[in-house]
Structure 1
Amino acid sequence: MAREENKETVGPAARMAAAVAKRMRVKKGLTQEQLGAQMGYSGAAISAMERLLHPVSDEMLVHLERILGGGTGIFEEMRPLVRLEKLPEQFRGYAPIEQKAVALWLYANHVVHGLFQTEAYARALIAGSYPEPTAERADELVIGRMARKALFDRTPVCGIELVLDESVLRRQIGSEEIMREQLVYLAECARRRNVNLQVLPLDAGLGGEYAGDRGDLNIVETPAHDRVTFLEIQGESLLITDRAKVSTHMQRYAKIRAQALDPRRSLGLIEDLAGVRR
C-alpha cells in the first residue's frame, strides 16, 4: 500500500531506481499514465514509485528496463541491489557473501535450507511465519529467496555441500503436494555435479553421539579463500570471521557429514519419501 511513511524505509538502490526512472520518463516525453500503460500499471502506481510511497518492485524493474532502458541494462543491474535491500535485515550482510562463495558447507535441521527451497515451499514458510507478513512483503521475500538460486549455475562454479536432518524431509510444509514437489526438487539438486547432498538420519544419535545438536550451520569459502560462518536463529544473525571459531565449526560440520548417510543412500531416501520410482 502506498503510504507516506514508506519513504523513510526505502533504501538507496530503490531511491536511485525511482530517480532514474523519473528522469528517463521525462526525457522520453512520457506522462506517468502513458508509461504505466506501456508497462501494465496504472499512472497512480508509477507516481507512487517515483514518490517512494510504494518502492519499486522486481517486476516493475523488468518493465522499466524494457520501456526505458534503451538497451543500457541500467534497471537490470539495479535488480539485485533492490532485492538485497528488501531482504530481512539480519540476512543482508550475508547475502552478497553467499553469492560470491567459492564453496558452501550447509547443515539444516528445521526446514529445507533456503537455497534449496521451491517457490511453493518458500511461500508456505514465509506466509505462515510470525509476525505474519503482508501479501506484498511475502512476495518480496519469496522473490529474494528464489534469486539466490543463481548461485547453482554461476560461473565460476560454486561447490555446495548440504546435510539435511531427516526430520526436515518428513516435516510437512504447506501441503502434501508442496512437500512432494520439494522432495523431487531436492532429488534433482542432488544429481547436480557441483552439489553433494546427504541426509542425517533420525537414528544418528543412537551411538551416543549426535553432531547436529547445535542447530543450523552455514560455512562459506570466499573468493580470497577465507572461511566465515553464518548463524541465524529467531530473526537474529551472527557472521563469524574468527579463524579459530570457524575452524571449530568446520570440524563440527565434518562430524555431521560423517554421521550422515552417503550421497547415494541419501538420494534413495529422498526419492522414497517423494514416491519417485527408480
Structure 2
Amino acid sequence: MARAENKVTAGPTAQMVANLARKLRLRKGWTQEQLGKHLGFSGAAVSAMETLAQPASDDMLVALEKVLGEGLGVFEEARPFIRLEKYPAQFQGYSVLEQKAVVLRPYETFVVHGLFQTEEYARALIGGGYPPLPEQRVEDLVEARMARKALFDREPVALIELVLEESVLRRIIGSPEVMRKQMLHLAECARRRNVTVQVLPLDCGLSGEHAGDRGTMNVMETPAHDRLVFLEVEGESLLITDPSKVSKLAQRYAKIQSQALDTRASLNLIEELAGDQR
C-alpha cells in the first residue's frame, strides 16, 4: 500500500533521479543487481528507487553520484530537493525559509522543537503518531528532520532562540533513556553561542499571566529582514506575513520570553531533569 502510494506521490526530483539513474544504468549495460553491488545496495533497493516505490535515500544519492554521476554533480545537486520532497506538504515551503533564516524564535508547548530533536526522540515521536505510518515513511521523515540541523552550523550564522514549556521536558517520549539523551542534547545546544534555550515554568500562570496560552509559534526573520510567523497544528499550517499580525505575535513571543526562566536557570533545570532519568 505504502509503496503504491509512493509511486503516485513521488515528487519531480525523485522522478528525475529515477529516470536518469535507469538510463545511465542501461547505458552501462548493468542489471539492477549489478548497479546495486556497485552502490552498496541490494538490487531490490535499486528497483524500488527506479520505480519510485521508495525514492532514493541520501546515502544512495551519494553513491549514485560516485558510480553514475560522471562528474556532472546531478545526483549531488538533487540531495536537498529530495529531502524537501520527503517533508509533509504543509511543511515544505516553511522548511526552505527556515534554512535561510537569520533569526528563528520558536515557542513549543507539547514536544521538543524539530531542530533540537535527537534522532531517537524524533523516531519515537514520528513513529508513535496517529494514524500509524509505514516504517520506511517514518525513516524518511526522521532523515529529513535530522537534515534540518545543518542550520546550526550554517554560514552566515543564524540566531536561534527557543522557548519551551517545562511540560515538554517532563513528557516522556520513547523511554526515560531517550528523554535523558534528548535533554542532554538540549543542554549541549544551549551552550552554543548562537543559541539560547529558555524554559517556561509550569507555575508561570500563578501570577495571573501566561502569554503562551494560545499555543506554539515560530517567529522568523528572513535575509531581507522581513519578519514572518509560522503556525502548525493538527497537520495544517499557516504562514503569516501581514506586518500588523506578525508584530502582534512577535510582541507576544517577547512576553513569553520575559516570563520564562533565564538561560542559566533553564540550563540548570534541563540538566537536573536529565539526571532524574538515570
Superposed pair shares fold, TM > 0.5 = yes
Q: Structure 1 239/146 Cα, relative in aligned 2: closer, same or farther at 3 Å?
A: same
Cα shift readout 1:197-233 (whole Å, capped 9, x = no counterpart): 1111111111110011011110111111101110000
Q: Percent identity?
A: 66
Q: What residue ranges of structure 2 are gaps of 5+ in the alignment?
A: none
Note if contact 1:7-1:53 (Cα within 8 Å) is conserved in structure 2: yes
1:1-278 pair list within 5 angstroms: 3-4=3-4, 6-275=6-275
Deviation, 1:3, is 4.6
| Deviations 1:86-116, CA, capped at 9 Å, x for gaps | 1111111110000000110110010100110
Q: CA deviation at 1:34?
A: 1.0
Counterpart CA distance in 2 for 1:109 and 1:57 is 32
Offset at residue 154 of structure 1 (A): 0.3
TM-fit CA distance, 1:58:
2.5
CA 1:274–1:3 in 2, change beyond 3 Å: closer, same or farther?
Answer: closer
Q: Distance in 1 between matches of 2:199 and 2:5?
A: 46
Quick one: distance in 2 between partners of 1:225 and 1:34?
51
Q: Distance in 1 between matches of 2:202 and 2:77?
A: 44
Runs of at least 5 residues in structure 1 that lack an aligned partner in the other structure: none
Tell me the CA shift for residue 13 of structure 1: 0.6
Give the SS at the match of 1:131. Answer: coil
Q: CA offset at residue 20 of structure 1?
A: 1.8
| In 1: Cα distance, 2:92 partner to 2:43 partner | 32
CA distance in 2, matches of 1:182, 1:4: 35
C-alpha RMSD of matched pairs (Å)? 1.6
Say if 2:2 and 2:134, in contact at 8 Å, map to a contact too. Answer: no
Q: 2: distance between equivalents of 1:110 and 1:2?
A: 29
Q: Which letter maps to 1:61?
A: L
User: Alpha-carbon deviations, 1:17-56, whole Å to 9, x = none?
Assistant: 1122123223334322211112233323323322323322
CA contact (8 A) 2:119 2:146 kept: yes
The one-letter code matched in structure 1 to 2:154 is R
Alignment check: 8 A CA contact 1:2 1:48 kept: no
Distance 1:3 1:131, change over 3 A: closer
- The alignment covers a number of residue pairs equal to 276
Distance 2:149 2:4 in 1: 34
Given that 1:211 and 1:252 are in contact with CA atoms closer than 8 Å, whether structure 2 keeps it comes out as yes
Structure 2 Cα separation of the partners of residues 48 and 38 of structure 1: 16
Structure 1 counterpart SS, 2:219: strand
Q: 3-state SS of the aligned residue for 1:229?
A: strand
Q: Which sits farther off after the overlay, 27-36 or 8-17? A: 27-36
Change (3 A) 1:236 1:5: closer
Instruction: Give CA-to-partner distance per residue, 1:155-176, whole Å, 9 cap, x none.
Output: 0100000001111111111101
Three-state SS of the structure 2 residue aligned to 1:93 is: helix
Contact 1:200-1:259 within 8 A present in 2 as well: yes
